[in-house]
Amino acid sequence: MGESQQVQLPCFLARVLIIINPCSDFGSIFNELLPGNFAKLQPSDPAGQDLTQGLEVKVRLGSVWKQSLTELSGGQRYVPGVQCSDAMLNIQSV
């Protein structure tokens, strides 16, 4: 990854969070497609300050928060993947 791309990555990830997470749209869409469940997008960095560490999708099925997306079925993994892809396609380049 080039230096200019490294500089742009935190800005891009911050924009993804701003677009996907307002009003829990990410979770509400997941709940709409899989009733009774919830998903959220959050920074991988525990303090939430270093977006260069990436973003994580957290999923709650019923009352249980899953530790990893590998715990989900293929169909359940598909929903947050499509949500993230859609949000990234809707972001205007800087």
Given a contact cutoff of 8 angstroms between Cβ atoms, the answer to whether 61 and 69 are in contact is no
| Edge-to-edge strand list for the sheet holding 55-61 | 37-43, 55-61, 64-65
Contacts of 51 (CB under 8 A, 6+ apart): 9, 10, 13, 14, 17, 43, 45
pLDDT for the residue numbered 22: 47
Tens-of-pLDDT digits for all 94 residues of the chain?
555 555 566 676 666 666 655 445 677 778 888 889 888 877 787 776 776 777 788 889 999 999 888 898 888 888 887 777 766 676 655 4
Residue position matching structure tokens 């949500």:
83
pTM over 0.85: no
Contacts of 54 (CB under 8 A, 6+ apart): 13, 43, 44
* The amino acid at 39: A
Given a contact cutoff of 8 angstroms between Cβ atoms, the answer to whether 13 and 56 are in contact is no
* CATH level 3 topology of 3-89: Rossmann fold (3.40.50)
pLDDT for the residue numbered 64: 94
Q: Which two tokens stand for residue 18?
A: 């701003």
